[in-house]
Structure 1
Amino acid sequence: MFEGHDPYLVALSVVIAILGGYTGFGLAARIRGTPDASHRLLLAGAAFFLSVGIWTMHFVGMLAAPLPADSVYLVLPMIVSFLMCALVVGISLFFVSVGTASMLRVASSAALLGLGIVSMHYVGMHGLAGNFAMTHVTGMVVLSVVIAIAAAYGGLRAFLARQGGLQLLLSAIAFGVAVSGMHYTAMAGMEVVPLPAGAHHHLEGLVASPQTLSLVVAVLCFVIAAGFLLSLVPDSRRTASAVVEEATGTPLADAGAAPTAPRLRPVPLGGVGQPPHAAPAPRLPVEGADGTHFIASAEVRSVRADAHYTKIHDGIRERMCPWSISEAEAHLDPSLFLRVHRSHIVALSHVTFVRKEGDGAIVELDGPSPHRVPISRAKIAEVKARLGLAHRTV
């Protein structure tokens, strides 16, 4: 498959695909929930970096291939291939980033993403021109489609399993395998046939030389690397809240409040040696562009883990809270709230709908903008009991 290819450019192409996947999936991980203006911006950024990663990997791979010396690239098919890729990636990310990520939705998004990668490849290949003709082995074309869809599915599943850390890295690696594996499999099935002596391939439209393409690819590699490095920079607002909490034991939300009597926590009956449990909080801190606000726990519909912090849904939209999901669970009244998933807490009194889905279930919570939350398989029985459905099938 790699016979005659430049091994350094092959390695670079895979790394570029992984970096683009890490940056794109990292941005997409922040947009699950009710869409708003900022979520649309994140979705656009995620689609951009994933598309640039796919497109750049493809043409780095082309530069690594042993193509005829007179090869040139038609600019129009190159641009069309990128726009096609961006559109398909954006649609597939939208499907898995909002609402409930059901098996059907993930499989459909993976198929769309895989087919988009394949389409981008062959449209881009159509832009390769010179005194030769290209043919493709049907079996290798089919195999490249299967590899792209299967690896895209693995990448999306890993991405949905958890929104950061090792799982995000695994999803990026799977994404890199999806793109590079499909590309080099398709290249292995491509045959370049020189035209007969005296015959010349007529070129129409603007063309770019391999040297010009190398310059464009180098710039895009820099863009991807810069995006990847920026994605590793901690959020200064979140870092500040963590420092305040560690130094004072008080959430950043309380830092600007008037001094009050210290919060007294009940001592457990077990006595010495047992960690104290936080008393239920009537209000939770949420951060906005103009500062920190407070939301009554009675207005909370759900709490979703977001790295070391949480997103609180009040029935209208999600808002960032400086507490971790464990801290939020400790401060919420356990008679009213239940942790139904390792990343989700719901207010049982606001549940309006419950349904079995896959290995788990989902619940819908009321409000002007109703939203759904997944329930892990281990929590289904407890949710049914708390909702009075212990003897019914969800």
Structure 2
Amino acid sequence: MLDFSHNPWLVATSLAVALMAGFTGLTLTRGANALPDGRRKVVVALAAVVLGGGIWSMHFVAMLGLQLPILFFYDALITLISALVAILMVGLALLLLHFRPRTPQVVVGAGGIVGLGIVVMHFVGMAGMQLCRPINGVADIALSTLASLLLSVLAIWVAYGARTQRNILLGTVCFGLAVFSMHFVAIALTGFTVSDVANVAGPALDNQVLAMGVTVAVFLICGAFLLTGITFVGTAEENGAISEAPVSESDAPAHEAMVASTPPVGGAAGVPFEREGQTFFADPGQIAAIRAEGHYCVLYLEAEKLFCPWSITEADNRLEGAGFLRAHRSYLVNPAHVSSFERKKDNGTLYFEEVNSLPKVPVSRSRMGALREALGL
């Protein structure tokens, strides 16, 4: 067997790549269930590319740091397949999480699929090595698979248990450790031996070419990380989870009461929302709260939440005079639907007992006076 070691800088870089990919992918999908199906699929696809590409990039950054006493290269076709497998398996897990009821079984199943995706990507990628053959026993594969499954299930369970900043950050750490730990546990249990014959199925891919490809992938992940990170603090709920229960026709009350039969408000027939490719108009009086979701909004009614094409600023302007108040930079609330108010040190929380899709709304310090006055406190 060949002796091997690792470049510590590339080991540290591989962990950073896994963490950035995990944060970006989990942040991209936040609030996705409030989007129409078409847009939700696009978001899920982008997150799958980031998370799956992050698994692949982490693996090959670490493999670039692998130092062996012989020269070796990779089969380009097998290397490409390893990336596509990771993206497809992560994509399947995200489809379950965002297009099926998020039961404990679905969450655990999705985490298991992500864990298996990490394992399959690793061993397919290792199979692409030429002139140097990796050797693993059944027990070695089982141990590394177990580590990947446990940490991946934990990552998805934490990240999707509640869509708060804290949960997404903890889920990011678990995801990064799942990818990182699985790789290095597997490598520690792997033996390397010289192979005189190269069984190349596709073009040869030496370390220099691979390094350029991995550098581009890491650059894109870093860019996506910066783009999502710059708005993470500004748009996240500071005192509560983002409700992401899938919107379905069976759970919604008859929408006839929400269609545009209301008097004009702020120059509109009502508040627009989209469902199955059509635009309807909700009665502002039936809306309990409106939450910012990037450049769009989510409307909270008694038993459902709806995608609105307005921004939170546009909603605030158009609904002036309709009784809505700004409770937080991300929220407009209708005081008529508030069931209780809790005062904290320098902020507060509004509760909506009759609104199943919205358990609570944070109240920022600068908005406390107007809210208390509106509630008669």
- Which bracket does the TM-score occupy, shorter chain normalised? 0.5 to 0.7
Q: What is the Cα deviation at residue 202 of structure 1? A: 4.5
Q: Check whether the contact 2:134–2:193 (CA below 8 A) recurs between aligned residues.
A: yes
Measure the CA separation in 2 of the matches of 1:145 and 1:153.
12
Q: Trace 1:52-67 onto structure 2 (pairs within 5 A).
A: 52-67=53-68
Measure the CA separation in 2 of the matches of 1:118 and 1:284.
51
Gap runs ≥5 in structure 2: 237-264, 275-279, 313-325, 340-348, 361-377
Query: Counterpart in 1 of 2:143?
Result: 143
Q: Check whether the contact 1:82–1:120 (CA below 8 A) recurs between aligned residues.
A: yes
Number of aligned residues: 298
1:213 and 2:188 are equivalent in the alignment: no
Could you say if the C-alpha distance between residues 308 and 216 of structure 1 is closer, same or farther in structure 2, counting changes exceeding 3 Å?
closer
1:186 and 2:186 are equivalent in the alignment: yes
Which stretch shifts more, 39-48 or 208-217?
39-48
The residue matched to 2:67 in structure 1 has which SS? coil
Q: Check whether the contact 1:302–1:345 (CA below 8 A) recurs between aligned residues.
A: no
Measure the CA separation in 2 of the matches of 1:344 and 1:102.
25
1:163 and 2:163 are equivalent in the alignment: yes
Q: Check whether the contact 1:5–1:65 (CA below 8 A) recurs between aligned residues.
A: yes
Measure the CA separation in 1 of the matches of 2:190 and 2:197.
21
Q: What is the Cα deviation at residue 169 of structure 1? A: 1.7
The residue matched to 1:234 in structure 2 has which SS? helix
Partner amino acid for 2:226? L
Q: What is the Cα deviation at residue 329 of structure 1? A: 5.3
Q: Check whether the contact 1:329–1:345 (CA below 8 A) recurs between aligned residues.
A: no
| CA offset digits 1:234-286 (Å, max 9, x no partner) | 39x989xxxxxxxxxxxxxxxx948xxxxxxxxxxxxxxxxxxxxxxxx9866
Query: Counterpart in 1 of 2:363?
Result: none
Q: Trace 1:95-244 onto structure 2 (pairs within 5 A).
A: 95-130=96-131, 132-195=132-195, 199-234=196-231
Measure the CA separation in 2 of the matches of 1:344 and 1:81.
48
Q: How large is the RMSD of aligned CA atoms in angstroms?
A: 3.8
Q: Check whether the contact 1:163–1:306 (CA below 8 A) recurs between aligned residues.
A: no
Q: Check whether the contact 1:18–1:175 (CA below 8 A) recurs between aligned residues.
A: yes
| CA offset digits 1:146-196 (Å, max 9, x no partner) | 11111111211221134342322221111110101101111111111224x
Partner amino acid for 2:177? V
Measure the CA separation in 2 of the matches of 1:211 and 1:23.
27
| CA offset digits 1:291-342 (Å, max 9, x no partner) | xx9731465599778699962156694226735689555524357xxxxxx9
The residue matched to 2:230 in structure 1 has which SS? coil
Measure the CA separation in 2 of the matches of 1:21 and 1:78.
21
1:319 and 2:320 are equivalent in the alignment: no
Q: What is the Cα deviation at residue 219 of structure 1? A: 0.8
Measure the CA separation in 1 of the matches of 2:358 and 2:288.
13
Gap runs ≥5 in structure 1: 240-255, 259-282, 336-341, 349-362, 364-372, 377-394
The residue matched to 1:203 in structure 2 has which SS? coil
Q: Check whether the contact 2:290–2:331 (CA below 8 A) recurs between aligned residues.
A: no
Q: Check whether the contact 1:309–1:324 (CA below 8 A) recurs between aligned residues.
A: no
Could you say if the C-alpha distance between residues 115 and 303 of structure 1 is closer, same or farther in structure 2, counting changes exceeding 3 Å?
farther
Q: What is the Cα deviation at residue 127 of structure 1? A: 0.5
Measure the CA separation in 2 of the matches of 1:151 and 1:137.
22
User: TM-score, normalised to structure 1's length?
Assistant: 0.65
Q: Who wins on radius of gyration, i.e. which is larger?
A: 1
Q: Trace 1:1-394 onto structure 2 (pairs within 5 A).
A: 4-33=5-34, 35-130=36-131, 132-195=132-195, 199-234=196-231, 257=266, 295-297=282-284, 300=287, 311-312=298-299, 317-319=306-308, 322=312, 328=332, 331-334=335-338
Could you say if the C-alpha distance between residues 343 and 226 of structure 1 is closer, same or farther in structure 2, counting changes exceeding 3 Å?
farther
Could you say if the C-alpha distance between residues 78 and 327 of structure 1 is closer, same or farther in structure 2, counting changes exceeding 3 Å?
closer
Measure the CA separation in 2 of the matches of 1:97 and 1:12.
31
Query: Counterpart in 1 of 2:316?
Result: none
The residue matched to 1:133 in structure 2 has which SS? strand
Measure the CA separation in 2 of the matches of 1:38 and 1:173.
27
| CA offset digits 1:115-142 (Å, max 9, x no partner) | 1110011111111111x43210322211
Could you say if the C-alpha distance between residues 150 and 45 of structure 1 is closer, same or farther in structure 2, counting changes exceeding 3 Å?
same
Could you say if the C-alpha distance between residues 316 and 22 of structure 1 is closer, same or farther in structure 2, counting changes exceeding 3 Å?
closer
Q: Check whether the contact 2:93–2:110 (CA below 8 A) recurs between aligned residues.
A: yes
Measure the CA separation in 1 of the matches of 2:74 and 2:86.
18
User: TM-score, normalised to structure 2's length?
Assistant: 0.68
